[in-house]
Amino acid sequence: MKKEKDERSFWEKLATLIVDKRNLFFLLYGAAMLFSVFASGWVSVNDDLTSYLPEETETRRGLDLMDEEFTTFATARVMVNNITYDQALTLSEDLEKIEGISEVEFDETEGHYRGAAALFDVTFDGEVDDDISLTALNELKEELAPYDLYVSTEVGNNRSDLLAEEMKMIMVVAAVIIVSVLLLTSKTYMEIPVLLLTFIAAAVLNMGTNFFFGEISFISNSVTVVLQLALAIDYAIILCHRYSEERVHMEPREATITALSKAIPEISASSLTTISGLGALMFMQFGIGFDMGRVLIKAIFCSLLSVFTLMPGLLMLFSKGIDKTHHKNFVPSIDGLGRIVIKMQYIVPPIFLILLIVVFKFSSMCPYAYGYTQITSFQKSENTIADDKIKETFGGQNTLAIVIPKGDYDSERALLADIQKHPEVNSALGIANAEAEDDYMLADALTPRKFAEMMDLDVEVAKLLYGAYGIKNEEYGHVIGNLDNYEVPLIDMFLFVHEEADKGYVELDDEMQRDLDDAYEKIDDARKQLQGENYSRLVLDLNLPEEGEETFAFLDVLREDVGRYYDDFLLVGNSTSDFDLSSSFSRDNVMISVLSIVFVILVLLFTFQSVGLPILLILVIQGSVWINFSFPYLMHSNLFFLSYLVVSSIQMGANIDYAIVISNRYMELKKQMPPHKAIILALNQAFPTIITSGSMLAAAGLLIGFMSSDPTVASIGICLGRGTILSIFLVMFVLPEILLLGDKVIERTMFAIKPPELSHEMEGSVRVNGHIRGYVSGTIDAKVQGVIHGEVHAVVDTEGKKEKPKEEPPEEQTEETEREEGQTDENQ
């Protein structure tokens, strides 16, 4: 017997496999989530944004070189309020005795004592991440606990850990808001556990699979979970609604299979715009974009996977509960908005076009910030509060390093003298002007006699040491010739003597050995910070803001100064980092804007098979982007540059889905009814989806913005929340008028060529015998034989004829009937 051919589509076969093998998928997800829970703890989180600078930038090269060549000891600015100078002086001496603190700088100048506040500049024995520095900092805080204390330091200031704690609270609040929204917009209460379990699985999978990247940024690590929920829960809602529609006339298994087979292509197409927008981030020159793009895109794929393979099984598992917990629809009808749209269709689009020109200008004048000093957050960490308080009392601190080739102390000394002449420089320190003993500098070249006087040595002993030094460094001419005039830089000679004493080649009495050891400890610390194997480092304290035109201009002045003495040099600091970021932003801004629009418009072209409609949709969402980033200019507040790059791509990639929902429904409905009635119904049908998805994304962004203490993350959150609200507003109140007004443009730019359908418009009583499709005081698509009383706007394929009732004058009836029959024949 011949086997019957399986006429099911590929999607139906796939959906059947997923539903029937649901227990296997439950098992696989259980194992994957168990692995992900452990793997999430293996993910390395990078707190340093500068590490994502392009490798060719001056700051990145300088930081890498300094890591190899120098030791950068941890520091802290410690302010104590309501204290006398004498008390502060005593405290500075006590603090210097704490193990792990090498130096406490304090004096009676206004830089350290002002009003009743004292500022201690503390240097630790270790670097920022060393345990000795953290232990010393904790002891310092215990020592000063009775006082009004503010400590600003990078020691123990782990951004990723702090953000992780904040995100836990944000997730709790976000979960409450999301469940509340779902309660109002869902059709049955038991949908909610299905949606939440699907999302939790997707989130855990995404966090665990970050392990395969090795390292991610603290920004990606902190915001991805919340953004994943807001961006991807749409997919689960679409499948849930599909299931509800099919369940009306099917059993749970068949309903799930049919719903999934229809939802897979629909959800996949919907996700493409979001993935396209996020994909544009990965082309940024600044590496943080690639990091965020890959983590968020992976989050979308994890969500798609969970919706397609886990959620069908959950729908089957909860099917009885879903059937029993149907409730009243709480989403109101918005017919009134539709009627307003029709009345405003000739007014709103011109106003919107004028607004676009204005906001484009405002957004282009947005004051961007590239560092942390000019941006704030609503929530402040303990370290931020201390930093603000210290800046308010004693001013800020802007440190800059200049890395130059090692060895030419004369050029270094002359360069430091030139730099110190600039009023923008508070101080400049290098080996060449670092003080040693008896007003000698570390780089001063001393003869044996001068060295003997400084060290209280016998001159002959000093000559022997100089001779040994000359032999070791193969400077035989000085050893054989005139040893009395042999000059050696103090730091080099001092380190040589200490090395020889350690080896036992030089014997010193106990007192001199102690003095040598104490001096060596200070000189060695200075050498580690200021002199490496191949390069020296100059450390400048500037009285300029960290960023701005004046600061960036002075960097060029410094480059001219250094260039007179050295061909090979690097400037490194927060100011150079901000300058490099501002330079890369110009390119990244154009790149992100163009690529996100190109990627999205390509998706829309294939989705709608029209040129005009994608352009109209892009125009609306781009308008929301420009309005969003006009706020910083109008509010005179700085915007962190990364917020613009990230949020503009998310707005273009994700928020455009709201416009697609309305446009899709409008394009379908207007085939069956007049455009003005189609837009009213389209708004009504799209409103629940848009308000559900939009409110979640807006809430997620605003929660991050108002509850995160990191200015970078908070700025992204505020912009995302505000941008989503603006997108919803424009899609609901501006896009409908644009669709109505641009209807002819949309139709004339369609790719698909189809034969013209002649529609008939009649009022009164119409006799029809044939197939009618269109609006007849309602929607109809059926074989009709009889008389229609009312308004007709439809395509009619008649089998017989269509005529007006006989009570009309015969002449008019005959003429009308003949004309309509001619149209019908033409249509057929």
3-state secondary structure of 772: strand
The model's confidence at residue 813, banded by pLDDT at 50, 70 and 90, is: very low
Amino acid (1-letter code) at residue 68 = E
Between CA 298 and CA 280 the distance in angstroms is 14
Per-residue model confidence (pLDDT) at position 312: 93
Between CA 714 and CA 375 the distance in angstroms is 10
Tokens of 455: 């060290």
pLDDT above 90 for 339: no
The predicted-structure confidence for 234-248, as pLDDT tens digits, reads as follows 788 888 888 888 888
Phi/psi of residue 43, nearest 5 degrees = -75, 130
Between CA 499 and CA 468 the distance in angstroms is 12
504-540: burial string, b at 16+ Cβ within 10 Å, e else? eebebeeeeeeebeeebebbebbbebbbbeebbbbbb
Beta-bridge partners for 14: none
The predicted-structure confidence for 434-476, as pLDDT tens digits, reads as follows 887 767 888 888 888 888 887 777 888 888 888 888 888 777 6
Per-residue model confidence (pLDDT) at position 375: 85
Per-residue model confidence (pLDDT) at position 789: 55
Residue 108: burial class (beta carbons within 10 Å; 0-12, 13-18, 19+): exposed
Per-residue model confidence (pLDDT) at position 18: 92
Percent of the chain at pLDDT above 90? 27
Q: What is the mean pLDDT of residues 511-523?
A: 75
Lowest mean pLDDT among 207-211, 543-547, 565-569, 653-657: 653-657
Residue of 188, 193, 163 whose CA lies nearest to 178: 193
228 neighbors 220 (Cβ within 8 angstroms): no
Strands 215-217, 44-46: pairing kind: parallel
The separation between CA 247 and the C-alpha centre of its own chain, rounded to angstroms, equals 41
Lowest mean pLDDT among 73-77, 386-390, 813-817: 813-817
Q: What is the mean pLDDT of residues 636-654?
A: 85
Q: What is the mean pLDDT of residues 662-668?
A: 84
What's this model's pTM, rounded to 2 decimal places? 0.78
50 neighbors 63 (Cβ within 8 angstroms): yes
The separation between CA 120 and the C-alpha centre of its own chain, rounded to angstroms, equals 36
N- to C-terminal Cα separation, the chain: 44
226-244: burial string, b at 16+ Cβ within 10 Å, e else? bbbbbbbbbbbbbbbbbbb
Per-residue model confidence (pLDDT) at position 758: 44
Between CA 699 and CA 697 the distance in angstroms is 5
The predicted-structure confidence for 479-498, as pLDDT tens digits, reads as follows 666 777 888 888 888 888 88
Between CA 409 and CA 487 the distance in angstroms is 13
593 neighbors 424 (Cβ within 8 angstroms): no
Between CA 800 and CA 825 the distance in angstroms is 11
Q: What is the mean pLDDT of residues 605-631?
A: 87
Lowest mean pLDDT among 320-329, 357-366, 656-665, 809-818: 809-818
Q: How many CA atoms are closer than 13 Å to the CA of 737, on its beta-carbon side?
A: 22
pLDDT above 80 for 368: yes
Between CA 494 and CA 531 the distance in angstroms is 15
Q: What is the mean pLDDT of residues 176-203?
A: 86
219 neighbors 292 (Cβ within 8 angstroms): yes
Q: Which residue has the tokens 């439950």?
A: 26
| Maximum average pLDDT range among 289-293, 467-471, 501-505, 780-784 | 289-293
Which residue would you say has higher pLDDT here, 195 or 516? 195
The predicted-structure confidence for 113-145, as pLDDT tens digits, reads as follows 998 899 999 999 998 888 999 999 999 999 999
Beta-bridge partners for 446: 488
Q: What is the mean pLDDT of residues 301-330?
A: 89
Q: Which residue has the tokens 């099984």?
A: 313
Per-residue model confidence (pLDDT) at position 561: 93
Beta-bridge partners for 765: 789
Per-residue model confidence (pLDDT) at position 812: 41
Q: Report helix, strand and coil shares of the chain as percent, to nearest 5.
A: 65, 15, 25
The separation between CA 75 and the C-alpha centre of its own chain, rounded to angstroms, equals 29
Tokens of 655: 């928020």
Q: How many CA atoms are closer than 13 Å to the CA of 145, on its beta-carbon side?
A: 6
Between CA 803 and CA 817 the distance in angstroms is 5
The predicted-structure confidence for 23-62, as pLDDT tens digits, reads as follows 999 999 999 999 998 988 888 888 888 888 888 888 889 9
Domains of the chain (ranges; CATH) run: 75-153 (3.30.70.100), 759-827 (no CATH)
Residue of 631, 634, 657 whose CA lies nearest to 718: 631
Phi/psi of residue 301, nearest 5 degrees = -65, -40
Per-residue model confidence (pLDDT) at position 818: 38
Between CA 821 and CA 25 the distance in angstroms is 60
Q: What is the mean pLDDT of residues 730-749?
A: 87
The model's confidence at residue 803, banded by pLDDT at 50, 70 and 90, is: very low
| Maximum average pLDDT range among 85-94, 444-453, 591-600, 740-749 | 85-94
3-state secondary structure of 105: strand
The predicted-structure confidence for 163-189, as pLDDT tens digits, reads as follows 778 888 888 888 888 888 888 877 888
Mean pLDDT over all residues of the chain?
83
767 neighbors 804 (Cβ within 8 angstroms): yes
635-668: burial string, b at 16+ Cβ within 10 Å, e else? eeebbbbbbbbbbbbbbbbbbbbbbbbbbbbbbe
Per-residue model confidence (pLDDT) at position 824: 38
Phi/psi of residue 332, nearest 5 degrees = -75, 155
Phi/psi of residue 785, nearest 5 degrees = -140, 105
Residue of 527, 372, 516 whose CA lies nearest to 442: 527
Residue of 70, 118, 126, 117 whose CA lies nearest to 98: 126
The predicted-structure confidence for 557-608, as pLDDT tens digits, reads as follows 999 999 999 999 999 999 999 998 888 887 888 888 888 888 888 888 877 7
The DSSP H or E segment spanning 401 is strand 398-405
